[in-house]
Amino acid sequence: MSEKSKNDEVDFSFKCPSCKKGKIRIHKTTYDVPDGDKMLFIKFECNICNFSNNDVIPLTANSTPGIMTLRVSNENDLKSKIYRSPNGKLEIPELELFVVPGPNADFYYTNVEGILYRFENAVLIYRKNLEKDDVQEEEIDKILHDLHKAIKGEFEFTLIITDTGGGSYIIPEDESKYSFQKFEQKELNLK
Ligand SMILES: [Zn+2]
């Protein structure tokens, strides 16, 4: 993230969830990132106790279509932020997880852990609706087993977002595990 920041704003609004006495100070800062995008950095701070929290939200769409790849191998990587635009296809091949773009696909902004929990929910519902002795049962139980390990940071996997229109983001906790591969114009024409 660049040093350039502007639009610093501070306001007080809600009561502290930790001490219940203080007021939460919300500090908003807009950062210009080197590729021309803007990110909103929000810091929540209590004026009495030491409660604080922060979040980063992309403000402008990343317009470069490409493939974003994040290697997840520990608990820290699970905190990496993920923002999938409706153009983005999200997949975790090792867990047979695929989220395809479509008019009904929602935008979402979460972290890797959030994606795993959503997926676990969907798989559990699917498993419940299987007929007794369905051949898929064994395969699904294997996925659930790996998924539980993944949620604890004990299963290594790759999260890939393929975005032909741009707009998706991965904000890695560990930069060294992230890579971005830009699409060439002729590759885009084929899609
Ligand atoms: Zn407090």
Whole-model pTM: value is 0.67
From residue 160, how far is each of 19, 36, 84, 112, 181 by CA, in Å? 40, 23, 11, 11, 11
Q: How confident is the model at residue 94 (pLDDT cuts 50, 70, 90)?
A: very high
Q: Do 85 and 144 share a structural domain?
A: yes
pLDDT tens-place string over residues 46-74: 989 988 887 777 776 556 889 999 999 99
Q: Do 145 and 87 share a structural domain?
A: yes
Burial 71-88 (b: 16+ CB within 10 A, else e): ebeeeebbebbbbbbbbb
Q: Do 48 and 70 share a structural domain?
A: no
Full domain range(s) for residue 42: 5-58
Q: Do 158 and 74 share a structural domain?
A: yes
Q: Do 102 and 181 share a structural domain?
A: yes
CA of 41 to the centre of ligand 1 (A): 21
Q: Mean pLDDT over residues 119-127, rounded?
A: 89
CA of 25 to the centre of ligand 1 (A): 10
Q: Do 83 and 16 share a structural domain?
A: no
CA of 45 to the centre of ligand 1 (A): 8
CA of 31 to the centre of ligand 1 (A): 27
Q: Do 70 and 48 share a structural domain?
A: no
Q: Do 146 and 93 share a structural domain?
A: yes
Contact 47, 25 (CB under 8 A): yes
Q: Do 137 and 113 share a structural domain?
A: yes
Higher-pLDDT residue of 57, 5: 57
Q: Do 73 and 28 share a structural domain?
A: no
Q: Do 131 and 77 share a structural domain?
A: yes
Higher-pLDDT residue of 85, 24: 24
In this predicted structure, the answer to whether residue 36 has a pLDDT above a threshold of 70 is: no
pLDDT tens-place string over residues 152-175: 999 999 999 998 877 788 888 899
Please state the domain count of the chain.
2
Which CATH number characterizes residue 139's domain?
A: 2.60.120.1040
CA of 112 to the centre of ligand 1 (A): 28
Q: Do 112 and 78 share a structural domain?
A: yes
